[in-house]
Copies of this chain bind each other. A is one copy, B any other.
């Protein structure tokens, strides 16, 4: 077994484009509204939750921080909808994804999201659950309620290990 060390890259719209949307004001030209009192950064994500009899719902997910390096155990995808995560406490977090389609462990990528960046996974994108780095973090989630099986999981224990590390931890963990 060959363990693969996975280091997060900075999250940018360009790098994340194969997987979905980055939800952030940064880099977007706003529209002034409310008689100049407000700037509107308009329509930042492709919300795709209404197919096959579904409806878009809003939930809050409270995520417990993990210890790193972290051996990834499982990833999931939603074949019937997009799923958006927006951090509510301004804390950075890690996003781990792989392209939609047959799961390809060699294509798993990790991104470090700032506390001002949300993500919207496109229908079918493989992803790990959002990984808090420090204190427990709340995320607003926009996904789907409705008929059908909208959560497929893949166990990473069937593949060579993927070990997620924060760059700064690489030395301390003797190469990990």
Give A contacts to B, CB under 8 Å. Answer: 23-25, 30, 33-45, 47, 49-50, 55-64, 66, 73-74, 84, 86-90, 116, 118, 120, 129-130, 138, 140-142, 145
Contacts and interface: CB of A to CB of B under 8 A. Distances in A.
Contacts of A50: 50, 55-56
A41 B62 contact: yes
A37 B145 CA distance: 21
Question: Chain copies in the assembly?
Answer: 2
Contacts of A129: 33-34, 37-38
A88 to B, nearest CB: 7
Given A34-B129, A86-B88, A142 B44 contact: no
Contacts of A120: 58
